[in-house]
Amino acid sequence: MRKDGQQAPAVVLEAYGLCKAYSEGEKKHLVLQDVSLSLQEGELAVLVGRSGAGKSTLLNVLSGLDRPDAGVVRIGQTVLTALPEQERTRFRRQHLGFIFQAYNLIPTLTVEENVRLPLELLGRTDAAAQPRVQQLLEAVGLAERAQSFPDRLSGGEQQRVAIARALVHHPMVIFADEPTGNLDDQTAAQVVRLLVRLVRQERRTLLVVTHDQAFLPLADRIWELHEGRLFERTPECLSSSRLYQP
């Protein structure tokens, strides 16, 4: 309980003591060194750092796409790192959303079908499914393109479809890996504003790996991954030379 009498937001993502190393020939490259973090419900967090710093590795470990060599990840009441692979897959499908740099839309499905796919994978074909899909297509400005295929859309439009798909099943946490990396500056700025607005409206928790500094003033938390360790930062203390060069 907070001092103002309001209940504090629940912690939805916690990680403790994460370590991850990869072999390079006879040497081991330590990517994550004793990384710990937590995110509350509704928070927007940004993860920055130089290319090759291990940002995508950390995102993959937090989301259960990869296992750490040591440490614990908990999402909600589930210890993700304790689950076998098939159960982790089911958990991701039910409780997590993903947005990727390359959009990862299925080319043989229409816009509407791509957005509906997470619901179908969960067996949610009830009467509430179609209104939810329609609601999000309207929210991302693509209701009139519902029957189009991804190859008929611009990059910015494809990423808007990906945003709707990530939100459609009301995930506990959304993970976004360089969501504006393939977009020009103007389109990227539009996608940033749209993503943040929708996540706030839906009261979702979002973790963004990015080189796009447009996210920084909008974030509740900013972390920098540097030499395998995680540091909390403010926008003012981050220099573009450290973060935004590819």
CA distance 194 to 168: 15
From first CA to last CA, the distance across the chain in angstroms is: 43
Tell me the Ramachandran region of residue 39: left when phi exceeds 0, alpha when psi lies from -120 to 50, beta otherwise.
beta
- Cα 7 to chain centroid distance, Å, stands at 26
Three-state DSSP state, 169: coil
- Stated pTM of the model: 0.92
Domains delineated in the chain: 43-55+83-239 (3.40.50.300)
Burial class (CB in 10 A: 0-12, 13-18, 19+), 232: exposed
Residues 220-240 pLDDT 10s:
999 999 999 999 988 777 655
Residues 34-72: tens digit of each pLDDT: 999 999 999 999 999 988 899 999 999 999 999 999 999
What is the sign, positive or negative, of the torsion defined by CA atoms of 129, 187, 65, 19? negative
131's CB contacts (< 8 A; 6+ apart) are: none
Confidence at residue 234, expressed as pLDDT on a 0 to 100 scale: 82
pLDDT digits (tens, 9 = 90+) for 183-193: 999 999 999 99
Confidence band of 1 (pLDDT split at 50, 70, 90): very low
CB 117 within 8 A of CB 132: no
Query: Could you give the CA distance from residue 90 to residue 74 in angstroms, rounded to a whole number?
Result: 15
Exposure pattern of 23-49 as b/e (b: 16+ CB <10 Å)?
eeeeeeeebbbebebebebbbbbbbbb
81-131 pLDDT tens trace: 999 999 999 999 999 999 999 999 999 999 999 999 999 999 987 777 899
Q: What is the DSSP letter of 168?
A: T
Cα angle, residue 178 at apex, residues 161 and 240 outer, rounded to 5°:
140
